Structure formats: structure tokens, C-alpha cells
Amino acid sequence: MKTIAALATLIALVLPGCEKPASNLDAKSPGGRIMYPITAEQADTVLYRALRSTAPEADVTGVTEPNKGYVAVINKDRRSYTYNASAVPAVGLKPDGTRVNGYAFEVSGWQSIRAGYLLESINLGAATISAPLPLANN
């Protein structure tokens, strides 16, 4: 019985860490700090398609604040899990030093592994439109 209590305590301490966001704005993310020189419409399409491909069972709702994106809710085993995916306006640098506008992406959710897969799917979708560029320093 003590083992079960200790395990429950450990799970309670670890689970909040599962909601760590994955982001192109974070230097620790795969690919580092990147953005895609794409339009708002293209960014929206990339987000929606990635959510539908990684969580087809989810109820998806559009959001506009703080950045345009989507909230996906998965109902499983009498529980509800939420993912947030958004396109963040960003400025990148072309190889010649020219600044260009576009979008970076952020994802958060109930399992950081699945949120990581979602960000990977978003990046793949965006890369089919335009190659990523490093973020410009403000």
C-alpha cells in the first residue's frame, strides 16, 4: 500500500511537467529558434492539418488570443486532454541578412511527447511551403 501511495505522489509531481510547451521560439527545440516566411493563411492551414493528422479524434476549435491557432480536446477514458497550437508572428533572417516576416509555432498539451509530435508535424507542413529561417534578434 505504501508503494502505491509513493507511486501516486510521484505521478502527481511529474504530470505537471507534461504540459511543457514545445516551440520554434525556444533554442532547446529541435531545429533551434526558427520561423517560416509564410502568410497567416498558410500558417493557419498548416496548424489545422497537423492537428487533424496527429489527433484525428479531437474536437478542434479556433482561437484568436493571444495568437491565432487552435485548441484540440481529446476525450478518452472519461478524461479530457487539451492541446493548444498557435502561430506566432515572427521575424527571420535570410542568408543575405534581409529581415522577413512570417510565423513560428508553439504547442502545449497534456503529454509533452505528443505535443512534440504535433510540433514536428507542423514544422514538416510549413517546410513544404518555405524553408525555415533563423529568428532575427530584436
As to burial, measured by CB atoms within 10 angstroms (0-12 exposed, 13-18 middle, 19+ buried), residue 101 is middle
Tens digits of per-residue pLDDT, 85-103? 999 999 999 999 999 999 9
Q: What is the mean pLDDT of the chain?
A: 82
DSSP-derived letter for residue 137 is P
pTM for this predicted structure? 0.80
Separation between Cα atoms, residue 132 and residue 135, nearest integer Å:
9
Separation between Cα atoms, residue 76 and residue 64, nearest integer Å:
26
pLDDT band at 81 (very low <50, low <70, confident <90, very high): confident
* String of DSSP letters for 69-112: EEEEEEEETTEEEEEEEEEEEEEEE-TTS-EEEEEEEEEEES-H
Residue 14 has pLDDT above 80, yes or no: no
